[in-house]
Every structure is written in structure tokens, then in C-alpha cells.
A and B are shown apart, each in its own frame.
Chain A
């Protein structure tokens, strides 16, 4: 085997490696990418049932209900962006800083009956903090009130985010 052959072989092997990586990544992007949506986005775009979504918005005041199903704690609450609201059901321990009237991000999927089943709920580990994506989405929806001094988007002091899975 000459030097040229050897070099060609290595180049081909590198090409094969990289193209496999690219193909895998692109294929996986198509099926596993998770979009961030607010309830209004969901109402407009009708994402297919079973597709994983990150749902962001405010927990509607007075909507939180805790029940027990099969000995497991289940929390149901409404997430709103001011225009639309959606019912969310979550089995498990809510993060320590989950509060009504505050920002939340829930990861999960829509059930056929339009209840959002979350398998992960994220709340920032700071009372003052609002998740960045949620704040931007709410601003875009015009739900952001300027009087809400208690909820500045202070990224310089972004605290640790906790989640419950």
C-alpha cells in the first residue's frame, strides 16, 4: 500500500465518520428537537398529540389543585400567557419555588383531551426570577405589565434553576 493509498483511506475514513455524525445529528434533530411554546402558540399551531413541548407561561392564580391518584401525588394547574390558558397535569414533587402567579416552564406533551401532561416542571430558584423564555414570550403577547417591578428579568444574577422530574 503506497503512501497515497493510505492517505486516501484515512481521508475516506474521516469523511465517513463525519458524515455519519452529521446524518445522525440531522436525523435526530428532526425527531427530538423540543420547541418552546406558550398556550397561545399551542392554540394557534395545534402541535400533534404526543410531541414533546416546553410549555412556558404563568401559573394561573387559584388554579392549583393537588390530588392523589394510586397513592401518587398529582398536581393540576393552569398555565396562561394572558390570552389562552391550558390545563397541566403533573405527577410528582413540584419544585420548591413553584408558586401560583409566577413563571413556570413545563416539559411534556399534549393528551388528546388537550390536557398538557408534564413530566418535568422547572421553576427558577429565586422568587424574583422569571424564566427568560417565558418573559420574552409574555412580552411578545403583551401580557407583560410594566408595573410588575417584582419580576425583573435580571440575567446578571441568574440563579440556579431547579426542576422536578
Chain B
């Protein structure tokens, strides 16, 4: 009964989405006030129907209803409750439902928070969102029915891939998908603007919060996925330039460009056409990301839900959404008037450079990711492109990006001179050069350069804050008062840029990692760096749905007892799989990473890593996302919010 209700709710949502698309776009076109007024209600209705559908699936999973094929294939009685709930989106059908639900949430959010938007624009935005949603829900209903029944129902389910039974991965899909799908809103705004044939500064101000929120979620989602790969896969690495990882990186790069170019639209009414194109491109890449993962075109480490048959549907959907919006762009973009003029050396100029560099990085990532499957398809060549390719192409483009990143916010709008900027930021540059110089002794040049860049970014990002608050030059009280008056967007940008610096420092640190593989019998000892490891014991322990083999390892540092760690190896009888449960002992400056491998002749193979600064990689991503969120809290972005900071903001050139 419950699964049928869920299926019905899903079908209802699909119908409401079609209605929303038609009513929104047609109503706005005919300027029919009644139709326009009906659109938000439809969007909220769609959201409620989708929430009901998702609720039914979760209910069926929690109550072990194995007559539902999806749950019989992916769940089991012995599975912990958390993974019964999160497992509903850990498979293809469920993840498509989750995708639809998040798209529904976006539509509902535009309906509820977008009351200050002109009603015509809002109806068009909701219409475009409804159309996209309708396509996806139709896909869910026709090819990936999460509620399909199974007869006879098995007494127990087949269980879930043990690698996915992990808290980090449980919340990775919703966060990542919120990032992916969130870019549907800027996309809908872009298409709506093309339909209306008008873009102004207000459009930029409305788009930016949505783009920024999606960007922050995507940043967190990517970081969480990378963190999972680091501690769960047990290779000691955190980013493998795997096609699925690249699929999330591509919209992140263009999304970052979008967040920045929308500022130019808002402040200077320039780069409007480009921003529209970026909004379309970012969502297209998000969709392609789903497509790459779900269709089996790119088989990879993470692709656990491949099915080429579904690819055709997704491919058609992609063609319709991307092709349609690009066609509309080609027809309408020339009618959009271009705006303010600026000198190459200016804030706008720096943002344009940022966009060019980010899009170039995205272009090489696309080439590296797409070339192998196409070479296979067209030339019959079996090739693969790995980390060496991406290291050789991304780093030369990333270094200038980082160099400009810290400088950009210091430049004034319209026209700038280098002199004053250097006067503000020379100390950051000097410290960065010193850091790079010190690191160059005994490290590879690239690593030293990366540390220098990290220092430059972290310090340079705060150069503007220091400058604006007159820190170190005025009395502390004055600085504090000025800091409170500072628009949160300025602070947010500085924090986000500094977060990137922290991530780069982490990446550079891990490149200095040391590792060692040894086979030890209980009582055996080994040394790595200043740490001394003694294997005390190997023992068995039962888990809820697995058997664990645990190694007890004592660590001493320079002879002083330091810690005892217990890496595990878990075998899941149901899935006939073994996973390594790594232990990571961290002090935020370095990770001690211990993996228990196979055993033979009474000896266990153990792998030890010392990963300097590893936690900084994800910490930096969190800081970046926090900066984005802080910037979102800026009163200037909240239309109609009483502007406490207006006087302070007016006193400072924004």
C-alpha cells in the first residue's frame, strides 16, 4: 500500500511539474495574471508530492518491505537503521528520486523566498524549473521506478555495498546533489531572462544568492566525497582524477566563475550575456555529471549504478535541456544590451581574468575526462588519462588563477592602478615569497611554489579586510567599529579565498607524505619518520553485519608512548566483500594513517602513511563554503531587508 502511494505521489508530482512548466511560461508570455499567480502554488504542490514519495520510500526501507524491488536489492534486515534510511538514495532509482526532490525544493524555495521578484520573472523561472523537473520525473517513472514490486518477496534483502555503508557517504549524495541541482535555479533565471529579453543589475542580485548557495553545497559535497575516498578506500589518496570526481569538479569550476561574474552584472551591469551563458553551462555540466555517472559511459571507481539503457533517456533529456537553452541563447542573447565600460586593470578586469582561467581549467578537465570514452567509441583505442595528465594541465593554469585571486578584491571598480594595490598587499607578497624560499630548501619546486601561493592567498585575502578596518594603524576600537560596518560579502569573500589557500597548503602538505608497507607478525616492529609502530595483537570481533579482524598497534614517538590504534578489516558475508577500516590519528598538522591488509603465515601486511597537513584539504573546503554562506548573509542580497549596514556600506566604496 505505502509503495503504491509513493508511486502515485511521484506521478502526481510529474503531472504538477508539467502543469507548472506550462502555466509558468505560457502565463508569463500571455501576461495572464491568474496563471502567473497559480505557478508558485503548483511548485509548492510538486514539492509536497515529492516529499511524500520520498517519505514512502524511506518508510518502506525502514520497515524492511522487501516486496519493493529496490529495497530488496539494496537493503537487508541486518543493515543498521542509518544506512536503511540513507541507503534509499545510495542506488540509482533512489538517487534519481532524491534529485527530483531537491529540484522540487528549489522550486518551492523560489516560490516562498522569491516573493520580491517581479511576478512575471518568477513565473518564468518556476516554469523552467517545472519543465526540467518534469523531464527528470518522467525519467524516474518510466525507466527507474523506485517503487516497483517484486513477487515473490524475498525473506531478506541483498544488502548494500559495504563501501557505501559509511556516515560520510550517507550524507554525501544529498549535499552534492543540492549543489548540482541548485544550479538549476540560476539556469532557470538565465532562461527566464532570455525569454523576457531583459537583464539588469537586479537580475544579478537575484541570481547570486542561488548560485552562491549551490556553490557552497557543491564545495561541501565534493570535499565530503574526497574525504570519504581518503579514509574509506584506504589508498592514502584523496583525489584520483576519476571521471566521477571530474564530473563534480567541472560544474564547480564554472559555478565558481558564475558566482564571480554575477557580481559584475550586479555592480556594473556588464558581462550580462556571459553570465547567462555560464549559468546555462554550469547546469548543463551538472546534468552531464549525472549522465556520466548514471549511463555507464564512464565506468569508474564510484559508478555503482550503471545502466546504458537509461543513458538514452538521459541523453535525450540532456539534448533537450542543453540544446534548447543554447538555441534560445543564440536567438535572444544579441538582443540583450551590454553594459558599463571598464579598463583592463580593474575589478571587472580581474573578474574577467578569473572567469577565463576557471573556464580554461574546466576545458582541460573536460578534455581529459571525455577524450578516453570518445577515443574508445570512435577510434577503438583503449586509453586512459590519469593524474599525470591533469597535473600537467591544471597546475599551470591554477597558479596564475591563485596569483590573481588575492589581488582581485583589492582593485577598485572601473579603473585601477597597481601602485595602491601593491601598497596594501606588499607584505603578503613578501611573506609568500619568503615562505616559498624557505620551502624550496629540501622540497620540490612545485611544492614550494604551492606553499608560497597558499601563504599569498591566506594573507592577501585579508589584506582588504586589514585595509578597510585600518587594522594596526588606527586604535583597536576604531578597527572594531569599522569591522562591524564591513559588508559581510567582503568578509565572506576574504574567508572563501583564504579557504582556498588552506586547501592548497593541505594539498602541498600531502604531496610530502611518507609511506611504508611491511609484513609483521604480532610483536613485530617498524619505524617510519619519528614514529615507531609495534603490532601488539591480531584479533577477531563481530560487527552488526560483518566480521572484523582487528590489529592493535602501539605507536611511540621518539621513544615516548603516543597512542594505540586499531585498524580493521571487515568481511561482509552477505556481499562477499572485504573492506579496510583505516585508522587515522590526526593532530591537524599531520595524519598517521594505518591500514590493515591481508594476512598470511601469521603475518599481517600493514601500510603506514604520514600525511602532513592532510586535514587542511577538507578544512579549507569547509572554510570556502562558510565564506560563501557568510557572503549570502549580506543584507544587500536580501531584497527589502532593513539595511542596518547601509550607512556603513555607503561610506565605503563597495
Q: How far is the CA of A68 from the CA of B519 in the complex (A)?
A: 8
Q: How far is the CA of A19 from the CA of B170 in the complex (A)?
A: 41
Residues of B with C-beta under 8 A to A21: 360-361, 363-364, 367, 393, 397
Cβ of B307 and Cβ of A156 under 8 Å apart?
A: yes
Cβ of B392 and Cβ of A28 under 8 Å apart?
A: yes
Q: How far is the CA of A49 from the CA of B518 in the complex (A)?
A: 28
Excluding A13-B353, A96-B577, 15 further A-B contacts by CB distance (< 8 Å) are: A1-B343, A6-B344, A18-B363, A20-B397, A21-B360, A29-B389, A32-B386, A33-B389, A72-B518, A93-B597, A125-B161, A156-B307, A159-B161, A160-B301, A165-B235
Cβ of A18 and Cβ of B360 under 8 Å apart?
A: yes
Q: How far is the CA of A18 from the CA of B355 in the complex (A)?
A: 12
Cβ of A72 and Cβ of B360 under 8 Å apart?
A: no
Interface bits A111-133 vs B (CB < 8 Å: 1, else 0): 00000000000000111000011
Q: How far is the CA of A53 from the CA of B190 in the complex (A)?
A: 45
Q: How far is the CA of A98 from the CA of B211 in the complex (A)?
A: 45
Q: How far is the CA of A127 from the CA of B577 in the complex (A)?
A: 9
| B388 beta carbon closer than 8 Å to chain A | yes
Q: How far is the CA of A25 from the CA of B369 in the complex (A)?
A: 11
Q: How far is the CA of A22 from the CA of B386 in the complex (A)?
A: 17
| B554 beta carbon closer than 8 Å to chain A | no
Residues of A with C-beta under 8 A to B360: 17-18, 20-21
Q: How far is the CA of A16 from the CA of B344 in the complex (A)?
A: 15
Residues of A with C-beta under 8 A to B161: 125, 159-160
Cβ of A91 and Cβ of B517 under 8 Å apart?
A: yes
Q: How far is the CA of A100 from the CA of B437 in the complex (A)?
A: 51
A-B pairs with beta carbons under 8 Å apart, 22 shown: A1-B343, A9-B344, A17-B356, A17-B357, A20-B360, A29-B389, A32-B388, A32-B392, A33-B389, A36-B382, A54-B384, A71-B518, A72-B516, A93-B597, A96-B577, A125-B161, A159-B161, A160-B301, A160-B302, A161-B300, A161-B301, A163-B301
| B332 beta carbon closer than 8 Å to chain A | no
B residues contacting A by CB (< 8 A) are 161, 163, 233, 235-237, 296, 299-304, 306-308, 341-344, 352-353, 356-357, 359-361, 363-364, 367-368, 371, 381-386, 388-389, 392-393, 396-397, 516-519, 526, 576-579, 595, 597-598, 600, 605, 607
Q: How many A-B residue pairs have CB under 8 A?
A: 142
Cβ of B607 and Cβ of A93 under 8 Å apart?
A: yes
Residues of B with C-beta under 8 A to A91: 517
Residues of B with C-beta under 8 A to A93: 517, 595, 597-598, 605, 607
Cβ of A24 and Cβ of B385 under 8 Å apart?
A: no
Cβ of A3 and Cβ of B341 under 8 Å apart?
A: yes
Residues of A with C-beta under 8 A to B301: 160-163
| Known A21-B363, A160-B302, A160-B304; contact A92-B385, beta-carbon cutoff 8 A | no
Q: How far is the CA of A50 from the CA of B367 in the complex (A)?
A: 25
Q: How far is the CA of A98 from the CA of B598 in the complex (A)?
A: 11
Q: How far is the CA of A87 from the CA of B367 in the complex (A)?
A: 34
